[in-house]
Structure 1
């Protein structure tokens, strides 16, 4: 049996999501493209130009492979061999071209590893040695070059790359922390409501059951000795039971009419436990007098989604006047578009009672419900 996550997280787990991988790919294409463009415009001839281009492409490809597998732990020995290969590419491209910008392509493996792999020091040592060796070899070849200047330029360029990749790494981890904090807050809100309900139920039932117990004992002792007292106590027990029933129903009704924010958290929790991805966009909140109506819409829609669809995604948009819920996986054979048997008619009546409107639309496998109260014309 598949175990579903109990929390709705934007980026669950420790594997970088596709958004981060796309960002890393875009950075690699940007840096490598700039390096190749400058190399091609430098006026180099064969064999320096084709070898430099191949070394740059190889460095970019190695960097792309490392970025796409940045979450894969690697043995220290394997990582050192990879970085030594990258160092050879970096030195070859610079020695042949004399262009510090070639590091934008051949330095990509170092930038990715420094930003995403731990420990950092082997990568820093090999990157520094590669730049130093490349500059010294070029200086020995040309004689009149300035090793200090070229070293600084290549180090700064490599540092700029590293900052770009490190920014993506830090941003992802910050989003994961915020995402987890949001999930914890939703769980905390639900826990508080459950505790409130349990406390209120104990107060009602505990007091009433104790009173019934005492009166039942008194009635039992009075059955033969004083039937009138027994009948009075039995009547009191009946009234206590009726009062407890009424108060319990009132409590249950109050629990069903939770604040809208708590109801939305409950919907996210419920659908998330079923493996459905929930996206909540909130641009406002309805006034307090309308919250219960919108809460009923969220609750009934979640129930319909679980009962009548095979949804994988649900989108909820909430403003101060409108709530829209859209889900996929709707089966035309099970969706009742006239509202009978699905609770849609009841929602239509509730919104109409507050001067609003409630509509639903079925398009292919997508089902959308929209509730409005006080929408501006």
Structure 2
């Protein structure tokens, strides 16, 4: 089973719920940045091709500059993708993923230099690709200044030196293409710096949301402590008094026992009321907790969460997520798991799957609770019965799929299911 094409990746599982508008704004800003950088690079390639054509170079050379430039621009896509998912942090460079783009940039520079004799075109492709890597801030600042100065210097040499007939110095605007080349790395760094600033602000927003959630949970813990501490103290006193009265006054002792029972009922009702006030943990947090638990158990976990997951019926999915995660921990026995909460038209779909450690015995008959479970995991259906009931109470359904190597539970709930549904 695959998630919808527009479903977010695992990174959403570790973040507090965000609105669709916020997620779209961040994504749109990134694409604005990417499009701008690609247009900058494409403009430089086109301007140089036009310059070389006007300077009298063979059309085949100009075509090679154009085609090679397009290949070089495409080779920067993995670097941009790595920068996007790196979040703008200065991390260790993964040379295994960046080696190919750097080799392509170097090959393009050497090829264009051999055809045109322009030193600026030898340096520019590699210098530009290097700006797309995750360098520490002070390294990037020094690098872009050094590259800009180097490009400006070799541009002066190229303009003053004939590379063909007529020489570049004879071109009516010899510095036009050069200025674009010199400014390209600096423009790239400024664009990526703007993206880094946006990511810092977004992380600050996420941290603020997490702090608010933590403070709310601390408030819940304090309320639970006060509520239960008071009632437990009262119950303890009533039971102690009943114990003392029992030998001499059985009626008074029974009265105290009844009072203790009423205190227990009051404590239970108070706990329910408190749970009603703080009814649910945000679903993205529930999934993040489930992912962390499974990883702690040694499983490789993939989590896919819709950007609007905070609008799903948490009163239904919260217990379902906890129960199915416990199911995998107790009875799974595999090495990998997958969690997904996605919106499909007018319903929400939660899916959890894990690999099974051994092929299923042919004699095992699937049932709604433990379909496909091997004999040592027959208890797997116990908790799933409650999950199916919980989904059915709000008009949803639960499906269990057992394959030779996978065990999957799918719970679907109507989108209009009340948030305060059954727990």
Bin for the TM-score computed over the shorter chain: 0.5 to 0.7
Counterparts of 1:360 and 1:153, CA distance in 2: 59
Q: CA deviation at 1:315?
A: 0.9
Matching of residue 307 in structure 1 with residue 327 in structure 2: no
Residues 114-153 of structure 1: pairs in structure 2 closer than 5 A? 117-141=137-161, 142-144=168-170, 149=176, 152-153=179-180
Q: Is the 8 A contact 2:15 2:285 kept in 1?
A: no
Counterparts of 2:393 and 2:320, CA distance in 1: 14
Counterparts of 1:134 and 1:305, CA distance in 2: 63
1:202-237 per-residue CA deviation (whole Å, 9 max, x = no partner) reads 121123334545x369749xx6xxx34xx3442233
Picking from 398, 406, 420, the partner of 1:359 is 398
Picking from 303, 325, 347, the partner of 2:350 is 325
Q: CA deviation at 1:329?
A: 0.9
Comparing 23-32 with 182-191, greater Cα deviation is found at 23-32
> Cα–Cα, structure 1 residues 127 and 63, in superposed 2: closer, same or farther, change >3 Å?
farther
Q: CA deviation at 1:72?
A: 2.4
**Normalised TM-score (structure 1):** 0.62
Match of residue 112 from structure 1:
132
Q: Is the 8 A contact 1:283 1:320 kept in 2?
A: no
Picking from 252, 258, 264, the partner of 1:239 is 258
> Cα–Cα, structure 1 residues 175 and 277, in superposed 2: closer, same or farther, change >3 Å?
farther
Q: Is the 8 A contact 1:259 1:291 kept in 2?
A: no
Matching of residue 209 in structure 1 with residue 228 in structure 2: no
The 3-state SS of whatever aligns with 1:118 is helix
**Normalised TM-score (structure 2):** 0.57
The 3-state SS of whatever aligns with 1:370 is strand
Matching of residue 345 in structure 1 with residue 364 in structure 2: no
Greater gyration radius? 1
Q: Is the 8 A contact 2:348 2:414 kept in 1?
A: yes
> Cα–Cα, structure 1 residues 103 and 367, in superposed 2: closer, same or farther, change >3 Å?
farther
Q: Is the 8 A contact 1:52 1:93 kept in 2?
A: no
Q: CA deviation at 1:45?
A: 5.7
Match of residue 72 from structure 1:
92
Matching of residue 264 in structure 1 with residue 283 in structure 2: yes
Counterparts of 1:285 and 1:62, CA distance in 2: 39
Counterparts of 2:223 and 2:416, CA distance in 1: 32
Counterparts of 1:266 and 1:237, CA distance in 2: 44
> Cα–Cα, structure 1 residues 344 and 9, in superposed 2: closer, same or farther, change >3 Å?
closer
Matching of residue 9 in structure 1 with residue 29 in structure 2: no
Matching of residue 368 in structure 1 with residue 410 in structure 2: yes
Match of residue 184 from structure 2:
157
Counterparts of 1:267 and 1:284, CA distance in 2: 11
Q: CA deviation at 1:306?
A: 3.1
The 3-state SS of whatever aligns with 1:316 is strand
Residues 172-251 of structure 1: pairs in structure 2 closer than 5 A? 172-213=199-240, 215=241, 219=245, 227-228=248-249, 231-251=250-270
Size of the alignment, in residue pairs? 336
Matching of residue 279 in structure 1 with residue 304 in structure 2: yes
Q: Is the 8 A contact 2:302 2:339 kept in 1?
A: yes
Counterparts of 1:151 and 1:102, CA distance in 2: 13
Q: Which runs of 5+ in 1 are unaligned?
A: 1-6, 12-18, 74-81
1:71-120 per-residue CA deviation (whole Å, 9 max, x = no partner) reads 228xxxxxxxx9xxx9xx79x94994569787762431463369754245
The 3-state SS of whatever aligns with 1:343 is helix
Counterparts of 2:140 and 2:234, CA distance in 1: 65
Q: CA deviation at 1:50?
A: 12
> Cα–Cα, structure 1 residues 136 and 304, in superposed 2: closer, same or farther, change >3 Å?
same
Counterparts of 1:206 and 1:320, CA distance in 2: 52
> Cα–Cα, structure 1 residues 304 and 252, in superposed 2: closer, same or farther, change >3 Å?
farther
1:30-86 per-residue CA deviation (whole Å, 9 max, x = no partner) reads 87777667767745469x989989x989x989989988796228xxxxxxxx9xxx9
Q: Is the 8 A contact 2:350 2:410 kept in 1?
A: yes
